[in-house]
Structure 1
């Protein structure tokens, strides 16, 4: 691919648009935090002429000026789009966060893209490619997404390029490491004082040419004897790897028979194999230095993207249904077809309000038209389902902090849409005449709870609206209003996710909150039978109050709730007041008896009582019923019940022992294990919920980022006496 003309577009200063799907390439960059994805995007933008030599756009910002939080925290926290032009093609570069807490942004990028660049840093030790990156590779492989690998940080490499190629072949190639091979070998200059030799150029294995970047511009040269020596073995291995994936089944036989395969055939077969997702080229790249215009390997990478990655026409769109679930025929990538688009990211801009980044799968999206927005079925996370018509505002192409207006967005392309007030991430945009709903992409379940409360009365007034906007932007976040604990809980993916959420509440929506200890929903029950007498007799002039009742309480099996039985004989308690006693009992049970938690799993039997012909009333017998239950509790042992969760943890086999030991230390009971594919095991356990509040963070540490878990409520069961005593002490102190 190093033989195509350098067709720099010079796209700086204008919106990047596409007039047909074949001229669009949608590429997502994947890699761990610090691998150099954002730097690579900026280098590609510079080479393509989208920014000037200082890496700036017209307003003085850079293409990485996406979010103030990113600048303060020095890490990417959201999906960012950088469109550039190269050789007549529009390339949508989707830069994703590398930190595990923002995997939702990564999945949105995968949804919007048609191919992926996996960025691997040579500054790390060999075999140090994070397991999370390997897991994303497997996800892409499962759907046949084309992938290539870009090696960065060669200037500070701890791992040699050849060694890193072998590592990538083993980790990403699976049974066929020859499906992961370099197209170019780095050419090194003289060794510097720090012991590192700078990379000054690339040697093309197919073209047998040297591409020298030492002067800041890509200069094509004939290789010298030193470069020729580098070529021989690596070139033969690459050619064999390409031919092995060729659609021409006779080519390998002819090659092994001594026939020289022409360069055009090799490049054509290479591009087809990359587009089919069966061959994964490795390239090296580095940013421009000292004011140079082109960074090392950026031209080669742009040529790979435009020549080897598929067009949107080659991607099958997600399945669609009507909003009520009836199946519809698959949509094709046709600008003249029915409108079907999807919101892949939602953000708030201080000047234009809500901005929705949209991938158009079919039809053409135009400003000022009315469209239908269909909800995505995440009501359990605070995202209500909705089917509404909305008017599209301005369409724009983002570039750093700028929004460059465009006239339309065709099938296969991406654009930002202003003023879709109800649209949230994951929603479908379609025609009002034919509303549709796209199959949602997989969203990780947020499993780290953080309880918050407004810092002041002014914050309390703005909290509800701020939280609604926050969860509208991020479908990986769940908002819970816990009626039992009376807490507002944000469920997040990790601590960094929490930090960003709270910072956005403060800086973007003007809401200051305090983090408070998260509480689980405890219950109370009677450990054994008891009895109580409620006497409510008052006379203070005028109409008095008179009610006496006697009850018996006995425990019931878990899950029974509260059962009320009437065994009054002889009219000791008039019939009209028996419901009043029950109402008083249930009201007191809801308030709790020992530590202020709801009472469950008991049978309360009304045995006897007394009434007064004048002074008895509904209110008096409600009070008497409550007093009787409290007296019964005072004479019995009240157990505290804690919620227990069924937990399923999936980890590589080497971490099973550590996970089981950790779960046991959390008072968990391991109930079984089973294999979940090659090298992975699912551990099933029952664990008290109070012990797994931070398990999302702890599991990541135990499994080095490779573990995943889910949890479902199983039941409430008795808390150990020493823990129950501690809870009661804390309740008494708080009161």
Structure 2
């Protein structure tokens, strides 16, 4: 493979159940890359090769394969449509040159479709729109196209019109060529005359297409206005240019389950979508001087590539996938600009479903993989040391659902070692430790996401995890002031124990933790014993007095005491300090504090009322609202205890259209009626 002009790099995007993987299977089968037409529903799809995907009949990871069509190499990236795994789609789209957007002819535009359109527009990708499942009951091509036109700024233009629908879908009309293409039972096409009852519609669409093409180029527009038409050559060249610029998104109907339309789509990928060298040069930053640098998609340019996915395998080790943007990679090493080191690799591979095919070199546009790299991770830029560069990589989507995790059968060390391996593969997965509750928290994008992680752990590493709702890190403090004596006196034959201290307890402003003041005058407590009083109080604070939570925001002033020349010791004064604290706190209006989180919720305007009502029911305080073109942003302070599983509730409330971010803000007093329940629960637990 030598010619960049003969490479196409295409990401397949679309909402869940829009037929992405089925389309990819049909394209591979039609091109002869696979010898059977795999089916998602029966688990035979080569692109959905993970057992978790076959079980759930949905894509979980981006799948890769490539095919040859008309002497062109087409690299396909088949991405997930489920919200739990959309991070995979984000990273795949970042390295693609072009896109195929799938929209089901039955379901039409779904709420999630907007996310994928946003990715296409953000990267300014030339895009084909495939209206899938035209053979299904209630399939409606024209309604689906109108939904796309009404909801998104994609400028969909029908280049292929379906002949029939539902069980009668049997072909398409090529609007530009003004001919019919009929499908046989194997999916192969035969050219034919346009049916008489569709001739007028086909001609109207041709005129519409000519207008769109003319409007995309000043020279063509001038000729079109003067002569009223364009030549076939001008139409084809103008269409290619308009698609390349993102001014037109061709619309093609298909029924991939029957392999109807696959060859038409392959022709469009090769004929309408641009090769890597026709895309804008990629821009990165020179890490030495911070200057912007461009890299052209040419085989003789300096090598550059971006790592966008890492796969963990218990047998093969770590598999690192990257997209080559410029130059030619061969040999046995490259320079990692992020880590500032050279790494050796063994063999370059093309990823074909669950298999890897060795390849000698890689040129711009290719997706390739290497195994067992020690330092390189997702987001790193690979290049030459002579011309270093760092390319931008997307920020992973935030982890919004957390559970306390433990090993189901007690092998904690193996569990956490296995999870750590998956962290390289899945950047939305987070493993943290909550110091106060001593729980290890596993955080992900959603419930299904974490369930799939558990299934992977069991299959790949033979360990299973148990997930529990995490504990809330409550704290305790006081609202009032008090003066109290703590006295420890014990006599049991021989040397006794004696410590006596008087302290003033008072609250500190929220967040100031602890302050100890030594106000002893004279020698009522010798200097060597006073630190022990502080130590005893600090140790007692760790366990609290109301419900076992750490005590905070407390000022202690040591003002008086007494000692015994023989029986006093550091330990005795430590116990005295602890007694003074426990006794005094109960006289100083002790209260529970709860963490308050800063919540930012993004939802379509239709759901704002529901979201705000729900936040109010969670004891939330709405701080304000902002608007964007397509969504409303609600900012609020909400107790952490009320939003531990908010991800699940928001998804249910908004049909998956709502997103949110959450960060710790501050601590506030727990309302008394709730505090009573928490304290009671602690007492019951202690009694068990």
Give the TM-score taking structure 1 as reference length. Answer: 0.88
Match among 160, 179, 186 for residue 184 of structure 1 = 160
Once the two structures are superposed, residues 47-96 of structure 1 have per-residue CA deviations (whole angstroms, 9 ceiling, x without a partner) of: 1110124559xxx9752242111112221111111111111221111111
Deviation larger for 222-231 or 295-304: 222-231
Measured in 2, the distance between the counterparts of 1:121 and 1:219 equals 25
- Flag structure 2 segments of 5+ consecutive residues without an equivalent: none
SS in 1 for 2:170: strand
Match among 213, 229, 238 for residue 242 of structure 1 = 213
Measured in 2, the distance between the counterparts of 1:449 and 1:34 equals 27
Residues 354 and 418, structure 1, Cα contact 8 Å, conserved in 2: yes
The question of 1:50 aligning with 2:1 is answered no
Match among 236, 240, 243 for residue 274 of structure 1 = 243
Measured in 2, the distance between the counterparts of 1:650 and 1:719 equals 27
Measured in 2, the distance between the counterparts of 1:442 and 1:123 equals 34
Deviation larger for 627-636 or 476-485: 627-636
Sort the Cα spacing of 1:609 and 1:456 in 2 relative to 1 into closer, same or farther, 3 A.
farther
Query: Paired residue for 1:474?
Result: 426
Shift in Å at residue 561 of structure 1? 1.3
Query: Paired residue for 2:345?
Result: 392
Once the two structures are superposed, residues 135-180 of structure 1 have per-residue CA deviations (whole angstroms, 9 ceiling, x without a partner) of: 3313422332212210111111424212222222212237xxxx21
Query: Paired residue for 1:251?
Result: 220
Measured in 1, the distance between the counterparts of 2:238 and 2:264 equals 17
Shift in Å at residue 418 of structure 1? 0.6
Query: Paired residue for 2:179?
Result: 209
Match among 603, 606, 628 for residue 558 of structure 2 = 606
Once the two structures are superposed, residues 596-631 of structure 1 have per-residue CA deviations (whole angstroms, 9 ceiling, x without a partner) of: 211111111112122233443333322322222111
Residues 304 and 383, structure 2, Cα contact 8 Å, conserved in 1: yes
Equivalent positions of 1:573-652 (< 5 A) are 573-652=525-604
Query: Paired residue for 1:329?
Result: 293
Query: Paired residue for 2:143?
Result: 163
The question of 1:33 aligning with 2:16 is answered yes
- Count of aligned pairs: 681
Measured in 1, the distance between the counterparts of 2:517 and 2:468 equals 41
Residues 327 and 363, structure 2, Cα contact 8 Å, conserved in 1: yes
Sort the Cα spacing of 1:360 and 1:624 in 2 relative to 1 into closer, same or farther, 3 A.
farther
Sort the Cα spacing of 1:706 and 1:62 in 2 relative to 1 into closer, same or farther, 3 A.
closer
Equivalent positions of 1:518-597 (< 5 A) are 518-540=470-492, 544-597=496-549
Shift in Å at residue 333 of structure 1? 2.6
The question of 1:222 aligning with 2:198 is answered no
Match among 691, 699, 715 for residue 650 of structure 2 = 699
Query: Paired residue for 1:710?
Result: 661
The question of 1:320 aligning with 2:274 is answered no
Match among 264, 271, 291 for residue 300 of structure 1 = 264
SS in 1 for 2:550: coil
SS in 2 for 1:646: strand
| Aligned-residue RMSD, C-alpha | 2.3
Once the two structures are superposed, residues 185-225 of structure 1 have per-residue CA deviations (whole angstroms, 9 ceiling, x without a partner) of: 11128xxxxxx433111111110111111253211123342
The question of 1:411 aligning with 2:380 is answered no
Measured in 2, the distance between the counterparts of 1:253 and 1:342 equals 42
Query: Paired residue for 1:148?
Result: 128
Shift in Å at residue 485 of structure 1? 1.1
Measured in 2, the distance between the counterparts of 1:405 and 1:218 equals 34
Shift in Å at residue 480 of structure 1? 1.1
Shift in Å at residue 105 of structure 1? 0.4
Shift in Å at residue 280 of structure 1? 0.6
Measured in 1, the distance between the counterparts of 2:664 and 2:12 equals 37
Measured in 2, the distance between the counterparts of 1:325 and 1:550 equals 63
Residues 502 and 513, structure 1, Cα contact 8 Å, conserved in 2: yes
Residues 595 and 668, structure 2, Cα contact 8 Å, conserved in 1: yes
The question of 1:353 aligning with 2:305 is answered no
Sort the Cα spacing of 1:372 and 1:55 in 2 relative to 1 into closer, same or farther, 3 A.
same
Deviation larger for 160-169 or 31-40: 160-169
Shift in Å at residue 567 of structure 1? 1.4
Residues 132 and 256, structure 2, Cα contact 8 Å, conserved in 1: no
Query: Paired residue for 1:232?
Result: 203
Measured in 2, the distance between the counterparts of 1:373 and 1:486 equals 38
Shift in Å at residue 697 of structure 1? 2.3
Sort the Cα spacing of 1:361 and 1:540 in 2 relative to 1 into closer, same or farther, 3 A.
farther
Deviation larger for 421-430 or 196-205: 421-430
Residues 10 and 98, structure 2, Cα contact 8 Å, conserved in 1: yes
Give the TM-score taking structure 2 as reference length. Answer: 0.94
- Flag structure 1 segments of 5+ consecutive residues without an equivalent: 1-17, 190-195, 290-294, 375-385
Shift in Å at residue 582 of structure 1? 1.5
Query: Paired residue for 1:102?
Result: 85
